[in-house]
Chains A and B, each alone.
Chain A
Amino acid sequence: MGKRNRAGFCFVLPSLVGVFVFYIIPFGDVIRRSFMQAVGNGFAGLDNYRQVFSNQAFCLAAGNTLCFVAVCLPLLLVLSLGVAVLLLEQVKGKNILKSTYLIPLAIPAASVVLLWNIVFDQYGMLNGIISFFHIRGKDWMNSGAAFGVLVFSYIWKNLGYDVVLWIAGLHGIPESIYEAARVDGAGALKCFFYITLPNIRPVAFTVVILSFLNSFKVFREAYLVAGNYPQEQIYLLQHVFNNWFSELSVDKMAAGSVLLCIVLVVFVLLLQRSWDKED
């Protein structure tokens, strides 16, 4: 390592030590537990993994989580990018609007849940409004629509988050390029696809990772509203982990976590690969 790079390593070292103690060691313990029995010191080999794979609840939850991410993520990205672009062109009230979008992030989960309960309950406000149109509302949280409610909740909460990040990134694209393109006669749409999108790649990586991260957090709301055994379609991976823990099945929990980790690693690697290819 060159002297310079050694210095770089020193910058990272203190943080690395902390991360090692508080994150890597615990995760190491998780990996260890995935090969052991729940209580006591019996070695279990690949048994836990086998159990997890054949576990119906786990598969259901995994499927749901995947489905959720596959639906929410693109939806959120597109919506937030759209809003960011529109916002950029605003002159009046831009700041106020931006602040407004960020507000949902500040609201504590418990209050959000309270609100959702009031709105989406069988006798809640949504059904109340619908009844005006003489349509019978249903119990949103206990039917297939629960999935939709969760998606809505996720997008509602994270829209601002992504918008702010997009804006920070959009700012980085020099106005000069746009001007040049406009002189050449490019319309708004062409500008967007050929200038904005490509130049926004670095930020996009961040936004995707963070939105992905936040999609896990939606568990909090689902849990507070519907408890440990919610409607089938909003039964997520964290429900399974949580319940396994309540029943002391930490061996399965550990194996499941390791599997999740592997999937995440693959996902991130793929993402990075596609990003780096362009750069």
Chain B
Amino acid sequence: MKKILQNSILYLFALLEISPLIFLFAGTFMGNQEVISYIAPVLKKGDGYASWRLFPVFPTLKNIAGLLLDSPEFFQMFWNSVKITAAISAGQLIFGMPAAWGLARYSFVGKRLVYMLYIIMMMMPFQVTMLSEYLVLDWLKLLDTSFAVILPGIFSTFSVFIMYRFFCGIPESIIEAARIDGAGELQIFFRLGIPLGASGIISAMVLSFLECWSMMEQPMTFLKTKSLWPLSLFLPEITGGNAGLSLCASFVALLPAVFIFLAGQEYLEQGIASSAVKG
């Protein structure tokens, strides 16, 4: 009985969470007319209430075709998103990972201050530093290049914070043992730190990937040239002309993120399992 209750709660929530995905998926295959007919009341064009359908009455591949064949900007922006996200992820591994390790396992003068700074910087909403960041980027002549978005992204303290907590969880005893065996700090980092903290690193990467993929304010403010814009800014308005297309675009835009989850999850599991054993 309890099992059934538990199950139902879980599945109910799951359904709620996934409903927008289904919504977008269905919409991908709907023709414009059909979409409009369902949401007409919201657009002030019809009477009654808005509705939706799981399976379109007139399924069509027109949207997908239109997106893949007729919208070169889509590809351009997709490529931009991939480029930016990949660059930021790589950079975070190179710079953020050691930083998290350093903060977690060592105590040096000013560590508390640095830690506090990192947290505070993470929490500031974008509007606050937008203007100043713009000026700094301008001074560095980085405006209107992809680097204007990539560099601040690499040094975002968010991923450092997540990795830090996981690194903290590694027992000191193992590290001590390695030190006694004569391992240098770098070796400890590469041979022990990274493998043991793998789950945290992966989690940080997955979450940070999400941030980058759906980043909106930064590219809009720092990138003037449209050809540099990432996918998150692509979604055109839902009007009569392209309702189906924009739903399709939304759907396609979220696919990579979903894939990353599915892929990353497995590593997540492995990492967690192995650290649990050690614990």
Contact = CB atoms under 8 A, between A and B. Distances in A.
Please say whether the chains A and B touch (CB closer than 8 A).
Answer: yes
B49 A4 contact: no
Nearest to B47: A123
Given A4-B185, A22-B151, A202-B168, A30 B132 contact: yes
A106 B258 contact: yes
A181 to B, nearest CB: 17
A6 B102 CA distance: 10
Interface residues of A, number: 96
Contact of A101 (B13, B42, B99): B13
A27 B122 CA distance: 12
A58 interface: no
Interface residues of B, number: 96
Contacts of A117: 42
A265 B115 CA distance: 12
A59 interface: no
Interface in A2-52: 4-12, 14-16, 18-19, 21-30, 33
B249 to A, nearest CB: 9
Contact of A159 (B13, B108, B161): B13
Nearest to A10: B102
Interface stretch (A82-90, A143-151, A189-197, A226-234): A82-90
Contacts of B235: 108, 110-111
A110 B250 CA distance: 8
A213 B24 CA distance: 27
Contacts of B24: 107, 111
A26 B133 contact: yes
Given A18-B155, A103-B17, A160-B17, A26 B129 contact: yes
B89 to A, nearest CB: 15
B182 interface: no
A213 B122 contact: yes
Interface in A229-268: 237-238, 241-242, 245, 250, 253, 257, 260-261, 264-265, 268
B102 A97 contact: no
Given A107-B21, A206-B162, A172 B108 contact: no
Nearest to A264: B123
A145 B51 CA distance: 21
A15 B120 contact: no
Given A111-B250, A124-B42, A23 B155 contact: yes
Given A172-B169, A238-B127, 20 more contacts: A4-B185, A7-B185, A18-B151, A22-B152, A23-B157, A24-B121, A90-B7, A97-B14, A101-B17, A103-B18, A103-B21, A106-B254, A109-B232, A123-B42, A123-B48, A125-B50, A171-B276, A172-B279, A216-B125, A261-B128
Interface of A: 1, 4-12, 14-16, 18-19, 21-30, 33, 83, 86-87, 89-90, 95, 97-112, 114-115, 117-119, 121, 123-125, 127-128, 131, 156, 159-161, 164-165, 167-168, 171-172, 174, 202-203, 205-206, 209-210, 212-213, 216, 219-220, 237-238, 241-242, 245, 250, 253, 257, 260-261, 264-265, 268-269
